Amino acid sequence: MKRAEIRPHPHRLPPPTPPGEVLEEEWLKAKGMSQTALAQKMGVHVQVVNGMVQGRRAVTAKTALLLARVLDTTPQFWLNLQNACDLWEAQRELTGKGKTATR
């Protein structure tokens, strides 16, 4: 007899880890790199990097390309993190648990 797979209810899943948090914890802190140093390597203003780390700025396709180039990752890695957050937030909004939609 097969055991039934137990899955958490989709509305009770914790939010995905934001790309800025991954950037800060897995790359900046781990490599001892400052936001300013990363911004310089990317060729962007430090506010771009700080906005991502603080969760105020989303990862765009251009930003994903720059991050991938500087950190030796893929742009898809960064865009997948952003898409997971965007989809989670959209799901919360549609179920009435998130921000109220503008009418």
Name all domains of the chain by residue range, CATH numbers in brackets. 17-94 (1.10.260.40)
Answer whether residue 37 shows pLDDT above 70: yes
What integer pLDDT is reported at residue 7 of this predicted model?
Answer: 59
Count of CB atoms situated within 10 Å of the CB of 59? 25
Confidence of residue 103 (pLDDT cuts 50, 70, 90): very low
CA distance 64 to 79: 6
Share of the chain above pLDDT 90, in %: 77
50 Cβ neighbours under 8 A, 6+ residues apart: 35
User: In one letter, which amino acid is 83?
Assistant: N
Percent of the chain with pLDDT over 70: 83
Is-contact 96 34, C-beta < 8 A? no
Query: CB–CB of 38/73 below 8 Å?
Result: no
Side chain identity, residue 85: C
Full-model pTM: 0.81
Dump the DSSP string for 50-83.
HHHHTTSSPPPHHHHHHHHHHHT--HHHHHHHHH
